[in-house]
Amino acid sequence: MTKAHEFDPQLLSEVAALPALPGVYRYFDAEGCVLYVGKARNLKKRVSNYFQKTHGGTRIGHMVSKIVRMETTVVRSEAEALLLENNLIKTLHPKFNILFRDDKSYPYLKLTAARPVEQGAAPSGLAYPRIAYYRGAVEKKHRYFGPYPSAWAVKDTILLLQKVFRLRTCEDTVFNNRTRPCLLYQIKRCSAPCVGHVSPEQYALDTANAERFLQGQTHEILTELEKQMLAHADKLEFEHAAELRNQMSALSKVLHQQSMEIGGDKDVDILAVKVQGGKACVNLAMVRGGRHLGDRPYFPIHVENATDAAALDAEPDVKLGAEAAQPRGKSLEALILEAFIAQHYIDVPVPPTLVCSEPVDRALIDALAEQAGSRITALHQPHAQRRIWLEMAQTNAALQLARLLAEQGSQQARTRALAEALELPLDKLDSLRIECFDISHTAGEATQASCVVFHEHKMQSSEYRRYNIEGITPGDDYAAMRQVLTRRYTKLAEAVRNPENNGAARLPDLVLVDGGKGQVSMAREVFVELGLDLGLIAGVEKGEGRKVGLEELVFADGRDKVYLGRDSAALMLIAQIRDEAHRFAITGMRAKRAKVRVGGSKLEDIAGIGPKRRASLLQRFGGIRGIASAGIEDIATVDGISKELAEEIYRALH
């Protein structure tokens, strides 16, 4: 039983002193880890619920028993509390909140701003907007459309715009140096403004129509194109009329292929949630400009821990009428969907309409509308086309969750098979940790070692590490392996032996090295010097003829070699980890080698040139030689490069 008197008196006095105002609270355990983040319309009443009630053996009782410290922040409104709560959830990763991990940023379609040029001057890219795939921070001077669920959706849209409106996609440096049309003009994907085959006025009209197409105004575009075509025909300008006819035909064909309902919804997000086997999936489908662009699945964590805590937070703070009171006992699906909406739309623009598979709290939608500064509608039981979209999203959510469960099931089976084959403990398979090392270089150049980590039945990319290997004979893989293992485990071995460690530092259960007896012998020497258990080391030795499936495991502690078998689940896991280590090592080596060869370090030595500006410069001019041959004015045309910085770059390279 959880009772109030079990808590620290100082903590209880802080609870008693809380104001009856809206705010956000955080609970911490003895190790300083965040347990839970919540919001409240009335901080005093909400937080008191945790410490005055008996929660028994529930998950929330388990959480409350761990609370040793609390922090609160008072805000002006419940909407502010909602935003702060979900920002903190995304940054602090509390154990008892439903948490959606940050995915890669969404891609956008970028339409560059048109800038006037002097009359009589040669065609310049500044005067002709270009369409491009874009991912990153937005600039006010350009137009952005999206977000799109995938890179494929952006590129498909760009292809449609090329077919119908024939807008350019080339970089300004390419545009400004053309003397004749490129292949895109020949296949009718570009109107060739670079060589004056289209007037600035006509190109501006095509650009405006492309914008309207992206906004879903297709009926209006077709009507105006038809009027212009008839007007040109009346003036006996049949060539212009034929061009407009072809544009209308291309647009009509695109609309037919997309099976769009013209005049319907413009921007809608469709959200469906599915829960099964202790896991959940939220499938987000996007409709932009009336076009269904595809979907993307999201898989939250801490689902099982959040139910009781969220249910307690759903209790009403004030006595309201039966219809206005917060509903108790929300379904887990509704809790997950609300958590996704609250966290997802912090960083992503929210469309005017959300179609949801579960009812969503009105207060959440009102807070989103206040944040966005526009009206937002959430529909739970849609009709007509919206219903079809929702059914599609629900089907995809179920399929994605089934795929995840199948993959996790097979991965857990592989982990168990490996543990059984190597006689590792079977009672803590979820915490089994494997680290794998590989060496990569090209004829001794740009040698790098990689360390990848397998933990909790999956590869943990955030824990991967690369090590630059220096001070060895080029091509000496044994010396490289010795260096990386020494650097990796020296401090860790000291921390493990420290009496005050309390399990904070932990050695892996298995250390894999990509190699046979030679590499294992080198690893053995390092572990003997550090006083570590030799039973942790295993080498993956190529089999006869270096054929896949014939690999054997070589051990540092003298055990006989182990052949797992071509169809062994344990060998599949070993191969997965080893291949990931090789991939991670070789990509790092190639990047390092390319940096050395193109002279990228010269740019990094210039104050004000970071990774993003360096990448933009290299992409624009094709390499360090191209930058060196460019003038100050050309360098200053790159986004983020001022005239002063362009002069500094020019001086540094000359």
Residue 194 and residue 127 share a domain: yes
The CATH number that applies at residue 636 is: 1.10.150.20
User: Can you give the pLDDT at residue 118?
Assistant: 64
321, pLDDT greater than 60: no
Give all strands (DSSP E) within 247-313, no chain letters. Answer: 268-276, 279-288, 291-298
Q: For residue 455, give the H/E element and its range.
A: strand 445-455
In 3-state terms the chain splits into helix, strand, coil percentages (rounded to 5) of 50, 15, 35
106-119: per-residue pLDDT in tens?
788 888 888 766 66
Residue 121 and residue 65 share a domain: no
CB atoms within 10 A of CB 564: 21
Q: For residue 510, give the H/E element and its range.
A: strand 510-514
Structure tokens at 500: 């005050």
**With the C-alpha atoms ordered 135, 138, 139, 144, is the resulting torsion angle positive or negative?**
positive
Residue 442 and residue 398 share a domain: no
Residue 450 and residue 588 share a domain: yes
Which of 302, 214, 301 minimizes the C-alpha distance to 258?
Answer: 214
Calpha distance 34→622 (Å, rounded): 47
The CATH number that applies at residue 288 is: 3.30.420
Residue 24 and residue 141 share a domain: no
Residue 322 lies in a domain: no
Residue 561 lies in a domain: yes
Which of 312, 307, 341 minimizes the C-alpha distance to 328?
Answer: 312
Number of domains composing the chain: 5
User: Can you give the pLDDT at residue 600?
Assistant: 46
Structure tokens at 41: 């319309």
The CATH number that applies at residue 486 is: 3.30.420.340
* Range name among 196-210, 260-274, 291-305, 467-481 with the lowest pLDDT average: 260-274
Please give the backbone phi and psi of residue 433, each rounded to the nearest 5 degrees, phi first: -120, 125
| For range 475-486, the mean pLDDT | 89
Residue 234 lies in a domain: yes
> For 255, how many CA atoms within 13 A lie in the half-sphere containing its CB?
19
**With the C-alpha atoms ordered 192, 198, 199, 204, is the resulting torsion angle positive or negative?**
negative
Give all strands (DSSP E) within 253-363, no chain letters. Answer: 268-276, 279-288, 291-298, 353-356
Q: CA-CA distances (angstroms) from residue 456 to 162, 414, 434, 575, 582?
A: 46, 12, 10, 17, 21
CA geometry: angle 49, 50, 56, nearest 5 deg: 110
Write down the mean pLDDT value for the chain.
79
**Final residue before a domain boundary, out of 57, 92, 127:** 92
**Final residue before a domain boundary, out of 562, 579, 595:** 595
Which of 400-409, 527-536, 627-636 has the highest mean predicted lDDT (pLDDT)? 527-536
Structure tokens at 538: 């295993």
User: Left, alpha or beta for 631 (phi > 0: left; psi -120 to 50: alpha)?
Assistant: beta
2, pLDDT greater than 70: no
Return the DSSP state at 191.
-
Residue 627 lies in a domain: yes
Kindly indicate the confidence band of residue 599, based on its pLDDT and cuts at 50, 70 and 90: very low
Residue 298 and residue 282 share a domain: yes
Please give the backbone phi and psi of residue 448, each rounded to the nearest 5 degrees, phi first: -135, 150
Residue 156 and residue 29 share a domain: no
Taking a C-beta distance cutoff of 8 angstroms, is the pair 322, 311 a contact?
Answer: no
Residue 124 lies in a domain: yes
| For range 299-303, the mean pLDDT | 82
Residue 277 and residue 195 share a domain: no
Residue 546 and residue 446 share a domain: yes
Of 76 and 605, more confident: 76
Residue 522 and residue 543 share a domain: yes
Question: Quick one: how far is CA 374 from the chain centroid?
Answer: 27
**Final residue before a domain boundary, out of 232, 258, 284:** 258
Residue 238 and residue 301 share a domain: no
Residue 625 lies in a domain: yes
Range of the domain at 81: 4-92
24-52: per-residue pLDDT in tens?
999 988 888 888 888 888 888 888 888 77
590, pLDDT greater than 80: no
323-363: per-residue pLDDT in tens?
333 445 578 888 889 888 888 887 778 888 999 999 988 88
**Three-state SS annotation for 398-421:** HHHHHHHHHHHHHHHHHHHHHHHH
237, pLDDT greater than 80: no
Residue 574 lies in a domain: yes
User: Can you give the pLDDT at residue 261?
Assistant: 40
Q: What percent of the chain has pLDDT over 90?
A: 7
Please state the pTM of the whole predicted model: 0.61
Residue 634 and residue 584 share a domain: no
Residue 510 lies in a domain: yes
557, pLDDT greater than 50: yes
Structure tokens at 628: 């060196």
202, pLDDT greater than 90: no
92, pLDDT greater than 70: yes
Which of 141, 628, 622, 126 minimizes the C-alpha distance to 646?
Answer: 628
10 Å CB burial of residue 563 (0-12, 13-18, 19+) is middle
The CATH number that applies at residue 62 is: 3.40.1440.10
311, pLDDT greater than 70: no
49-90: per-residue pLDDT in tens?
887 766 666 667 778 888 888 889 998 877 778 878 888 888
| For range 166-191, the mean pLDDT | 86
